[in-house]
Amino acid sequence: MSARPTPKVVAFAGGVGGAKLADGLMQCLRKELSVVVNTADDFEHMGLHISPDIDTVTYTLAGLANPETGWGIKGESWNFLDQVKKLGGPGWFALGDRDLAIHVLRSERLRAGESLTRITGDIARALGISASLLPMSDDPVQTKVKTAEGLLPFQDYFVGRHCEIAVSGFVFEGIEKARVTMQVRNALDSGALQAVIFCPSNPYVSLGPILDLKGMKAQLSETNAPIIAVSPIIGGKAVKGPAARMMQELGVEPSAKSVARIYHGVVDGLVIDEEDKHLADEISALGMAVHVAPTLMRSREDRKALAETCLRFADNLAKRGIK
């Protein structure tokens, strides 16, 4: 591996929303950005190791993502899946023809003993991604959702059941043994670090596993850079995915304020949408800086604008000595 420049900003991301802000940050920072990605949704399907969040971030940063779905590759074809069904194989998980390449290459290299970190970095470089893309861990962690039917693996809940079964909690299997990678630790340890940004991802199942890794919260509390989060909840709704629904099922009001409560004690500031500016005072009262800005990312320009907002907000917090 070639030497990477010291990152100035570390972003934590899950899938679609996280990938969009990561893209905005990369537009601002190029090589000075490291993106730490959730791997607790990773699973094995048809003998292939699938890393949904890494794939979404990879495709988004490479400019390959399907703009309609947010996941997968634009202009995808589905001939593999069609043939799998003809052969009597499983058709419930949408594996596109182009998308398969990343799964097959990754699976082969993992089986040969290479680390997910190395493989992810090689693929990102092959696709011309300037930021460092870092899996949160090279050790297996598997999110399971607690339901009335028992523990369900995340993909069974998310894809197989379309999130249509109420959740009462989450288990990140393997989390107590999973180590934060050296690359992630070094990125957070850097003296040049200017900000840690929690992208607008699901706070429970996307950023939750990253934050629950052993030593992660301690390391975050020791870093000198401000830590800010962007609320994935706008006007009581999640832009994408089951975050708001999960809040409701857990008996928590779906709102930016609930996001603030989840991240309380970890982040120094929260970016909330203009639609939620009436919540600013209540969130401030929790002891957290608040910044109100447009947070919905419809275009690539929106992503960059939100990234600039986050960087300015972090900069202001640093100047005010908040951290």
* Exposure of 126 in the CB half-sphere (CA atoms within 13 A): 11
Cβ-Cβ contacts under 8 Å for 98 (sequence gap 6 or more) = 73, 75, 76, 77
Q: Does residue 82 belong to the site contacting a copy of itself (CB under 8 A)? A: yes
Work out whether 80 is an interface residue with a copy of itself (CB under 8 A). Answer: yes
User: Binding to a copy of itself by residue 88, rule CB under 8 A?
Assistant: yes
Rounded distance between C-alpha atoms, residue 199 and residue 207, angstroms: 9
Q: Which is nearer to a copy of itself, 80 or 186 (CB)?
A: 80
102 contributes a contact to a copy of itself by CB under 8 A: yes
**Cβ 96 to a copy of itself shortest distance, Å:** 8
User: Which of residues 107 and 316 has its CB atom nearest to a copy of itself in the complex?
Assistant: 107
Residues 58, 105: Cα–Cα separation, whole Å: 14
Does position 123 bind a copy of itself by CB under 8 A?
Answer: yes
Stretch that binds a copy of itself, among 12-20, 85-93, 149-157, 276-284 (CB under 8 A): 85-93
Q: Among residues 77 and 284, whose Cβ is nearest to a copy of itself?
A: 77
Query: Amino acid identity of 113?
Result: G
Pairing of strands 150-153, 227-230: unpaired
Provide, rounded to whole angstroms, the least separation between the CB of residue 97 and a copy of itself. 4
CB of 21 to a copy of itself, least distance (A): 24
Closest CA to 61 of 241, 309, 298, 300: 300
Site for a copy of itself in 31-60 (CB under 8 A): 46-48
- Of the candidate spans 92-100, 143-151, 169-177, 218-226, the one that interacts with a copy of itself by CB under 8 A turns out to be 92-100
Query: Interface with a copy of itself by CB under 8 A: which range of 7-15, 107-115, 171-179, 298-306?
Result: 107-115
| Angle, alpha carbons 252-253-257 (nearest 5°) | 105
Give residues with Cβ within 8 angstroms of 203, minimum separation 6: 232, 243, 259, 262, 263
DSSP bridge pairs for 289: 269
Binding site for a copy of itself (CB under 8 A): 46-48, 73, 76-77, 79-84, 86-89, 96-102, 104-105, 107-108, 111, 122-123, 126-127
